[in-house]
Amino acid sequence: MISIAWKSLCNRWPTALLAVLAIAMSVALILTVEKIRRDARTSFTQTISGTDLVVGARSGAVQLLLYSVFRIGNATNNISWESVDDIKKRQAIDWVIPISLGDSHGGFRVLGTNHDYFDHYRYGNKTALSFAEGKRFEDVFDAVIGSEVAAQLKYRIGDEMVVAHGTGRVGLVKHDKQPFKVSGILNATGTPVDRAVHVSLEGIEAMHVDWRNGANVKGEGTAADEIRNMELKPTAVTALLVGLKSKATVFREQRAINTYRAEPLLAILPGVALQELWGLVSVAELALMIVSVVVVIAGLVNLMSVLLAGLNERRREMAVLRSVGARPIHVFLLLCIESTLLTMGGIIIGLMLHYALTGVGAVYLQQRFGLTVQLTLPHTAEIRILLFVAFAGILAGMIPALQAYRKSLADGLSQKL
């Protein structure tokens, strides 16, 4: 029966191919949507680990999380250095990582910080940052770059770079009088760290020495050695990553920072803010999944229509099979086998198309959004989707199979040539 079904499909290969391609595209779409959704969540979740509080100017929890951790968007205001000192002095605070944003290089964010960043920042399963080459910044004009920055811009240790004002891909106003030198390249982390240029807080102040009110003062060009001898203490930072000595004090410290009187601040728990973010994007995820399911249903309907349309052309074929001894159940099984072959062919080609889309799209998502999408074997959710498509494809084939089962002999022999 399988051989007969295969030969029958080969004789009708154009329509069979269209049915297979319809199922393949629907399978590839729903698997790719599910893959990106799951890996995006994993990528976001693994970006920061071991940080108890994120502190910034008072705004929204999701906005603070996005610009401070994921480098998406911009802060509404900065935190004064006096407030940073007050937070550091709190008895429950173990460490504080200051973050200063606002500049860029080649489309990559420039992040000003200090050595505490390399000592205490963790990602994934509390994994510390490590260097592929070089070392931390020591000089005012040293820079440590992420793996993606090094790969795309072809930087090596000792290369010079010019930082631009603002966060756009094309820097219109550049700090070309104070170039930085690459002192270290970090190992890949699969997080926004890979797409960041890290400089010291003193470096952030140094490149703005000749600036007044957000613009470079014409004619001024302080020498680098002279800048190094200046007092370069920062006046403000964008956000703080805070670690506590005891997790039990997290809500007390959050409340203390949120009610800080010197200036309006907001302290958030990264995990809680991340759950709020998933709540916001869940509507978009649901919409994408609904569209994917509708496409799968359309592919299955196309499969059923191909089989039903073929029945009218194959009425005499079915009658001949019955006349030479085939039973109704044989005709029924023949149509079921054909639908199974078409469905399995669509699933296999859909898997191949899914991996091709994932492989190409992973590069774009990493470069454009910093999301890590990896090529892996199908997970449990994806296997369930494939089983559902296979089962639904077999069921779709049973409708024309039942019609052939009931009418194959009488309908075929009564048809006029």
DSSP states of 168-214 as a string? SSS-SEE-TTS-EEEEEEEPP-SSGGGGEEEEEHHHHHHTTTTEETT
Distance between CA atoms of residues 37 and 40, nearest Å: 5
- Residue 140 and residue 206 in contact, taking contact as beta carbons nearer than 8 Å: yes
pLDDT of residue 18: 83
CA angle 202, 207, 212 (to 5 degrees): 115
Ramachandran sector of residue 126 (left: φ over 0; alpha: ψ -120 to 50; beta: rest): left
Q: Give Cβ neighbours of residue 251 (< 8 Å, ≥ 6 apart).
A: none
* Phi then psi dihedrals of residue 164, to 5 deg: -110, 150
CA distances (Å), 378 to each of 70, 326, 349, 354, in order?
28, 40, 14, 11
The Cα–Cα gap between 342 and 346 comes to: 6
- 161: which residues sit within 8 A by CB, 6+ positions away? 105, 106, 143, 153, 155, 179, 180, 181, 182, 197
Measured CA to CA, the distance from residue 116 to residue 129 in angstroms comes to: 11
Spatial CB neighbours of 11, under 8 Å, sequence gap ≥ 6:
none
Q: Using alpha carbons, select from 212, 400, 250, 238 the residue that is nearest to residue 312.
A: 400
In angstroms, rounded to a whole number, what is the distance separating the alpha carbons of residues 392 and 387? Answer: 8
Quote the pLDDT of residue 305. 76
Q: How many CB atoms lie within 10 A of CB 342?
A: 27
Tell me the torsion sign for CA atoms 132, 137, 139, 140.
positive
Instruction: Write out 278-321 in H/E/C secondary structure.
Output: HHHHHHHHHHHHHHHHHHHHHHHHHHHHHHHHHHHHCHHHHHHH
Which residue in the block uniquely carries the two structure tokens 């910044």? 137
148 Cβ contact list (under 8 Å, min separation 6): 108, 188, 194, 195, 366, 367, 370
Predicted confidence at residue 395, as pLDDT, reads: 82
pLDDT score at 311: 61
* Below-50 pLDDT ranges, the chain: 171, 218-219, 409, 412-413, 415-417
For residue 412, what pLDDT is reported? Answer: 47
Its pTM stands at 0.73
- Predicted confidence at residue 374, as pLDDT, reads 74
Sign of CA dihedral 86, 89, 91, 95: positive
Instruction: Tell me how far apart the alpha carbons of residues 311 and 356 are, in angstroms, rounded to a whole number.
Output: 35
- The interaxial angle of helices 13-45 and 270-313, nearest 10 deg, is 180
Residues 198, 201, 207, 211: is their CA dihedral positive or negative? positive
pLDDT of amino acid 130? 94
Query: What is the signed CA dihedral for 249, 250, 256, 258, rounded to 10 degrees?
Result: -170
The answer to whether residues 91 and 192 touch, using CB atoms and an 8 Å cutoff, is no
Looking at residue 111, its pLDDT comes to: 95
**Can you name the residues that pair with 105 across neighbouring β-strands?**
108
Q: At what angle do helices 328-369 and 270-313 cross, to 10 degrees?
A: 140
